[in-house]
C-alpha cells in the first residue's frame, strides 16, 4: 500500500501530506520510544517532531539483564500493537484521501460556460461599491446586465431614470409639494406607481405600473424579475417594482427602505419627523398596515425578533439582498457551484440574518452533500459508510447547520398559492378602507411649498 | 384578668412571630431561587414553583401531596408517550411524542382501561373563567390549586405543563403574551410552534400578532413571544414570589420586592412583569416618602433634589416601558382575544401541528 502510494506522490497535495505523516510512523519501529503517545488522527503530522526526540528513559539503560529482556520484549510487543493500530488508521486516512480528490467535495464549476464570467465581473463591480453608500441604480443595472452578458447600454438606462426623475420633479412642482420633504417625495413616488399622473403644461402622462401574474417568480424566465422588463412593459412583480422605487427614490433624493415579508418585498418610508412608518404595497399600488402583512400567517415572532421581516433594510442590508439577487440570477442561468457560495458568503457577511441567503446556502450545501455522496457511492442503503469519510461528515454537518440557521431566524415556507391568496387579500374591503384612510391622511399632511 | 392579659400578650407575640416567620420563608425562597440562577444549586422548575406557592401559604403547603400528584401525572405521561401514535415523520419524533403526550395529559379527556377491563375516564384540567388574574384570590394562579381543583388559568396550566416536561426529561419553553403565558416547542420539520393550553389549540403566531392586541415593537423587542430559557422561567417565578409577597404584606416597605425584581431582571432584563413591578414599587416607595415629608404632592417636592431625581427616574422607566411596546390590556379585551381563538379557530390554527392522528 505504502509503496504504491510512493510512486503516486505527484497525485495531489493531500496524499503527500499524508506520506509525511506516515513515514515517521514507520520509523517508530526502529527507534523505540518508551512513552509512545496514543496515535491520534488529527495529530499525525506531528509525529516527526515527537518521535525523534531524545528517548531519555530507555530499557537499555537498566542494568539487570532479565529485567532488560523482559522490558524489551514487552516493548517490542507493544510497539507491534501500536504499529498495527497506526497502520490501520493510516489505511483509513489514505483510503479517504484516495477518494477525496478535491472534486468530490466541491461542485464542478460553471465558470467556463458561455457568459458565466459576466457574473464574476458583476460580483467584482458590487464588491467595489461601498456598502454604506452605493448607487442602487448602478448595482441593479450591473446585476441585470450580467444576465444579459453585458449587452445592455448603461447610458440608455440612466437616461430613462433621469427622464422619469425629471417628470417627478416637474410634477412635484406642479402639485406645489415642498421639494425638501421626504414625505412629499415618497407620496409622489407612490402615486407615480399607483395612479395615472399627468403634467398638463407639457401634455405628459404616466400610467400606473401593474402587477404581472405570469411567471411572477421568474421560474421559466428569470428576466421577468428585472427592472429592465418592468420599464419596457410597465408590468412587474414584487422584486422589480420595489427595486425601481428605490432607484427613483435615489434619483429624486427621497429616503425609502426595502422591507421583506414571506416570499415578498415592499417599501417602507418615514414622515419628516421620523415618527411614523408607511408601508407601500407596490404590487397593488396601495398603502398597507402592518396587520395586513401579519395576516399572511407566515410571519413568525422569531423572524420579527431577528429583524428578518417587516424591518426597514439599511443600505448595507440592501446590498446583502442584492448580492442574494445576483446569486439567484446565476443559479437560474447556470446552477449551483462554488461561486454561488462566494456570493452568498459576501451577502451573509453584510447581513448575518439574511434568511434568503441562508436558504440558498442550505440548497447549495445540500447539493454539495448529494454530489459528494454520489461520488463516494453512498446511498440510503449504505449511509453508514459516511463514517469512513470525515470530510463528507463535515459537509453533512454543515448542511444541517444551515437548515438550523434558517429555522432559528424564524423562516417558514409559504406555499405559492397561499402567497397569491394573501396578496389578493389586499383588495379586501378592510384593506381598501385602510388604503383610502392613509392616502387621505397623507394628502392633508403633505408639506407644500411656502 | 391577669391570665387574660397574658393570653392576649402571647397571642400578639405569636402573630408577630408568625409574620416574622413568613418574612423569613420569603427571604429563604428568594435565596433558593437565586441559588438556581447562579448555578450554585440544581435548577428545578418544579421546586421553584412549589416553594413560591409554599411561601405564600407560609410553609404549610402540602408538599408531599404536591410531589405525589406530580409523580402520578409524570408516570401517566410517560405511559402515554409509549402509546401515542403520530403522523409526524421527523427524526425527532420521540421528542414530539413527548410533547403530544404532555398536551393530552393537560388538556384531553383520556379513556383508561385498568387490568380488570374497567373503563375510567381521565378528566383533563379545564380553564377557570372566574378570577382569571387572581385578583380575588391570589392562589387561583397556583399549580397546587390546579392539582387540587382541576381548574386552572393561563398561569397555572403552562406551569404544570413545564413541570411535567421537566419531569419526563424533555424541554418546554414558556412564552408570554399580554397577561398570558403559553408554550413554545420546536421540532425539526415545523420549526417553532405554539401550544395554547387554555383552549387546547396550536395557534400560529398570527393569532397573537394580527389580533391587534400586541404592539409590533413589543414582539420585535422580545417582550412577548420569545421562547424563554429555563433561567428566564425561574426569573418569572421570582416575580411571582414578589407579587405574592405584596399580597401577604400589603403595607410592606418595598425592600423585599425591589430585591426580588433586581435578581429577576438580572437574568431576564426585558421581563415586562418584572419591569412593571419594579416601577410600581419604586412609585409606591416614592409616594410614601412624599406623604411623610410633604403630605401631598406639590411643587415643593420637585425642589427636593433627592425626590426630584427619584421622580424623574420613575418617569423615565414608565416611558421606556411604553416605548418598548407595552400597552395595558383590560380584562374584557383579554377575554375577547382568548375567545377569538375558539371563534376563528380556522384562521389561527396551525394546520401542520393539529393533525396528530391520535390512537385514542
Q: Which residues of A touch B192 (CB under 8 A)?
A: 300-302, 407, 410
- Would the pLDDT of A34 be above 90? no
Cβ-defined contact of B192 to A302 (cutoff 8 Å)? yes
Q: Which residues of B touch A310 (CB under 8 A)?
A: 216
Does the residue B16 lie in any domain?
A: no
Query: Which of A279, A282, A164 minimizes the C-alpha distance to A216?
Result: A282
Strand partners, B151: B126
Does the residue B17 lie in any domain?
A: no
Whole-number pLDDT of residue A158 = 95
What is the residue-wise DSSP string for B133-202?
A: T-SS-GGGG-HHHHHHHSEE-TTHHHHHHHHHHHHTT---EEEEETTEEEEEEEETTTEEEEEBTTTTB-
Complex ipTM tops 0.90: no
Residue B191 C-alpha, separation from nearest chain A C-alpha, in angstroms:
6
Whole-number pLDDT of residue A22 = 38
pLDDT tens for the 360 residues of chain B, in order: 556 666 666 655 555 656 678 999 999 999 999 999 999 999 999 999 999 999 999 999 999 999 999 999 999 999 989 888 888 888 888 999 999 999 988 888 777 777 777 877 777 888 887 788 888 889 999 999 999 999 898 899 999 999 999 999 999 999 999 888 999 999 888 888 999 888 888 888 888 887 667 888 899 999 999 999 999 999 999 999 999 999 999 999 999 999 999 999 999 999 999 999 999 999 999 999 888 888 877 788 888 888 889 999 999 999 999 999 898 888 888 888 778 777 777 777 777 776 444 433
Domain match, B239 and B140 both: no
Does the residue B338 lie in any domain?
A: no
Does the residue B10 lie in any domain?
A: no
Rounded to an integer, what distance in angstroms lies between the CA atom of residue A435 and that of residue B128? 41
pLDDT tens for each residue of A264-312: 999 999 999 988 899 999 998 999 988 888 888 789 999 999 999 999 9
Domain match, B124 and B184 both: yes
Domain count, chain B: 2
Domain match, B188 and B292 both: no
Q: Which residues of B touch A300 (CB under 8 A)?
A: 191-192, 205
Domain match, B260 and B120 both: no
Domain match, B120 and B263 both: no
Whole-number pLDDT of residue A297 = 79
- Would the pLDDT of A28 be above 50? no
**Based on C-alpha coordinates, what's the Rg of chain B?**
23
Cβ-defined contact of B210 to A294 (cutoff 8 Å)? yes
Domain match, B163 and B290 both: no
Domain match, B120 and B245 both: no
Higher pLDDT, B23 or A83: B23
Range of the domain at B192: 40-228+351-360
Domain match, B193 and B253 both: no
**pTM, full prediction:** 0.75
Interface test with A, best of B206, B215, B341, B351 (most A CBs within 10 A): B206
Mean pLDDT, rounded, for A191-195: 93
Cβ-defined contact of A307 to B220 (cutoff 8 Å)? yes
| Cβ-contact B189, B88 below 8 angstroms | yes
| Cβ-contact A245, A193 below 8 angstroms | yes
Domain match, B288 and B223 both: no
Q: Which residues of B touch A311 (CB under 8 A)?
A: 220
Does the residue B25 lie in any domain?
A: no
Higher pLDDT, B219 or A96: B219
pLDDT tens for each residue of A418-432: 888 888 888 888 888
- Would the pLDDT of A435 be above 50? yes
Mean pLDDT, rounded, for A157-180: 93
Nearest chain A residue to B222 by CA distance is A305
Domain match, B224 and B236 both: no
Does the residue B11 lie in any domain?
A: no
Whole-number pLDDT of residue B134 = 84
Rounded to an integer, what distance in angstroms lies between the CA atom of residue B156 and that of residue B336? 20
Domain match, B71 and B138 both: yes
Is the Cα torsion angle A384, A389, A394, A398 positive or negative in sign? negative
Does the residue B12 lie in any domain?
A: no
Whole-number pLDDT of residue B8 = 60
Domain match, B153 and B218 both: yes
Does the residue B18 lie in any domain?
A: no
Strand partners, A211: A236
Mean pLDDT, rounded, for A201-217: 85
Rounded to an integer, what distance in angstroms lies between the CA atom of residue B152 and that of residue B199? 12
Helix (H, G, I), strand (E, B) or coil at B113: strand
Amino acid at each position: 500500500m505504502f509503496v504504491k502510494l510512493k510512486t503516486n506522490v505527484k497525485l495531489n497535495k493531500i496524499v503527500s501530506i499524508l506520506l509525511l505523516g506516515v513515514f515517521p510512523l514507520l520509523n517508530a519501529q526502529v527507534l523505540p520510544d518508551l512513552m509512545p503517545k496514543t496515535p491520534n488522527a488529527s495529530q499525525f503530522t506531528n509525529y516527526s517532531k515527537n518521535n525523534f526526540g531524545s528517548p531519555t528513559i530507555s530499557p537499555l539503560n537498566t542494568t539487570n539483564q532479565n529485567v532488560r529482556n523482559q522490558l524489551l520484549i514487552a516493548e517490542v510487543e507493544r510497539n507491534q500493537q501500536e504499529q498495527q493500530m497506526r497502520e490501520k488508521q493510516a489505511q483509513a486516512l489514505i483510503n479517504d484521501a484516495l477518494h477525496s480528490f478535491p472534486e468530490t467535495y466541491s461542485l464542478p464549476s460553471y465558470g467556463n460556460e458561455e457568459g458565466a464570467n459576466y457574473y464574476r465581473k458583476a460580483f467584482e463591480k458590487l464588491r467595489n461599491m461601498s456598502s454604506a453608500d452605493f448607487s442602487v441604480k448602478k448595482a441593479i443595472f450591473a446585476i441585470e446586465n450580467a444576465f444579459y452578458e453585458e449587452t445592455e447600454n448603461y447610458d440608455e438606462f440612466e437616461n430613462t431614470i433621469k427622464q422619469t426623475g425629471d417628470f417627478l420633479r416637474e410634477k412635484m412642482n406642479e402639485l406645489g409639494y415642498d421639494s425638501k420633504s421626504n414625505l412629499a417625495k415618497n407620496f409622489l413616488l407612490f402615486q407615480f406607481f399607483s395612479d395615472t399622473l399627468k403634467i398638463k403644461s407639457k401634455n405628459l402622462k404616466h400610467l400606473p405600473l401593474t402587477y404581472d401574474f405570469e411567471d411572477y417568480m421568474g421560474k421559466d424566465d428569470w428576466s421577468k424579475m428585472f427592472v429592465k422588463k418592468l420599464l419596457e412593459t410597465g408590468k412587474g412583480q414584487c422584486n422589480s417594482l420595489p427595486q425601481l422605487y428605490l432607484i427613483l427614490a435615489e434619483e429624486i433624493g427621497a429616503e425609502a427602505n426595502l422591507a421583506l415579508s414571506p416570499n415578498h418585498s415592499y417599501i417602507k418610508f418615514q414622515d419628516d419627523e421620523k415618527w411614523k412608518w408607511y408601508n407601500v404595497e407596490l404590487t397593488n399600488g396601495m398603502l398597507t398596515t402592518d396587520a395586513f402583512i401579519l395576516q399572511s400567517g407566515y410571519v413568525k415572532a422569531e423572524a420579527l425578533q431577528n429583524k428578518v421581516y417587516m424591518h426597514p433594510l439599511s443600505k448595507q442590508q440592501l446590498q446583502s439582498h442584492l448580492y442574494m439577487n445576483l446569486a439567484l440570477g446565476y443559479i437560474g442561468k447556470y446552477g449551483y457551484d462554488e461561486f454561488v457560495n462566494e456570493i452568498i458568503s459576501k451577502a451573509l457577511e453584510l447581513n448575518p440574518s439574511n434568511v434568503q441567503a441562508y436558504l440558498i446556502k442550505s440548497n447549495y450545501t445540500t447539493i454539495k452533500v448529494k454530489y459528494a455522496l454520489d461520488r463516494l457511492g453512498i446511498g440510503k442503503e449504505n449511509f453508514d459508510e459516511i463514517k469512513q469519510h470525515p470530510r463528507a461528515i463535515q459537509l453533512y454537518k454543515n448542511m444541517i447547520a444551515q437548515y438550523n440557521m434558517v429555522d432559528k431566524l424564524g423562516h417558514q415556507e409559504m406555499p405559492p398559492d397561499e402567497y397569491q391568496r394573501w396578496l389578493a387579500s389586499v383588495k379586501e374591503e378592510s384593506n381598501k378602507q385602510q388604503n383610502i384612510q392613509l392616502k387621505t391622511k397623507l394628502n392633508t399632511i403633505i408639506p407644500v411649498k411656502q | 384578668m391577669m391570665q387574660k392579659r397574658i393570653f392576649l400578650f402571647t397571642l400578639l407575640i405569636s402573630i408577630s412571630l408568625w409574620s416574622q416567620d413568613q418574612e423569613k420563608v420569603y427571604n429563604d425562597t428568594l435565596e433558593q431561587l437565586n441559588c438556581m440562577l447562579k448555578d450554585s444549586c440544581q435548577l428545578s422548575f418544579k421546586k421553584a414553583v412549589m416553594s413560591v406557592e409554599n411561601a405564600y401559604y407560609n410553609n404549610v403547603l402540602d408538599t408531599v401531596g404536591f410531589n405525589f400528584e406530580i409523580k402520578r401525572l409524570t408516570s401517566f405521561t410517560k405511559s402515554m408517550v409509549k402509546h401515542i401514535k403520530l403522523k409526524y415523520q421527523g427524526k425527532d419524533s420521540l421528542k414530539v411524542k413527548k410533547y403530544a403526550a404532555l398536551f393530552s395529559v393537560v388538556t384531553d379527556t383520556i379513556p383508561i382501561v385498568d387490568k380488570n377491563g374497567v373503563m375510567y375516564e381521565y378528566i383533563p384540567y379545564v380553564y377557570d373563567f372566574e378570577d382569571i388574574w387572581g385578583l380575588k384570590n391570589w392562589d387561583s394562579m397556583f399549580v397546587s390549586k390546579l392539582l387540587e381543583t382541576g381548574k386552572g388559568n393561563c398561569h397555572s396550566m403552562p406551569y404544570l405543563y413545564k413541570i411535567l416536561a421537566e419531569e419526563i426529561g424533555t424541554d418546554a419553553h414558556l412564552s408570554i403574551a399580554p397577561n398570558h403565558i403559553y408554550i413554545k416547542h420546536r421540532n425539526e420539520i415545523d420549526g417553532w410552534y405554539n401550544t395554547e393550553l387554555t383552549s387546547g389549540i396550536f395557534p400560529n403566531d398570527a393569532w397573537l400578532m394580527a389580533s391587534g392586541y400586541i404592539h409590533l415593537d413589543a414582539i420585535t423587542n422580545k417582550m412577548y413571544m420569545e421562547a424563554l430559557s429555563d433561567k428566564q422561567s425561574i426569573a418569572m417565578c421570582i416575580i411571582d414570589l414578589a407579587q405574592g409577597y405584596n399580597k401577604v404584606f400589603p403595607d410592606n416597605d418595598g425592600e423585599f420586592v425591589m430585591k426580588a425584581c433586581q435578581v429577576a431582571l438580572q437574568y431576564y432584563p426585558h421581563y415586562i412583569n418584572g419591569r412593571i413591578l419594579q416601577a410600581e414599587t419604586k412609585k409606591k416607595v416614592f409616594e410614601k416618602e412624599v406623604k411623610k415629608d410633604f403630605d401631598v404632592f406639590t411643587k415643593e417636592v420637585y425642589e427636593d433634589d433627592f425626590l426630584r431625581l427619584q421622580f424623574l427616574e420613575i418617569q423615565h422607566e414608565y416611558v421606556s416601558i411604553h416605548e418598548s411596546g407595552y400597552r395595558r390590556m383590560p380584562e374584557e379585551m383579554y377575554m375577547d382575544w382568548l375567545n377569538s381563538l375558539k371563534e376563528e379557530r380556522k384562521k389561527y390554527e396551525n394546520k401542520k401541528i393539529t393533525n396528530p392522528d391520535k390512537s385514542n
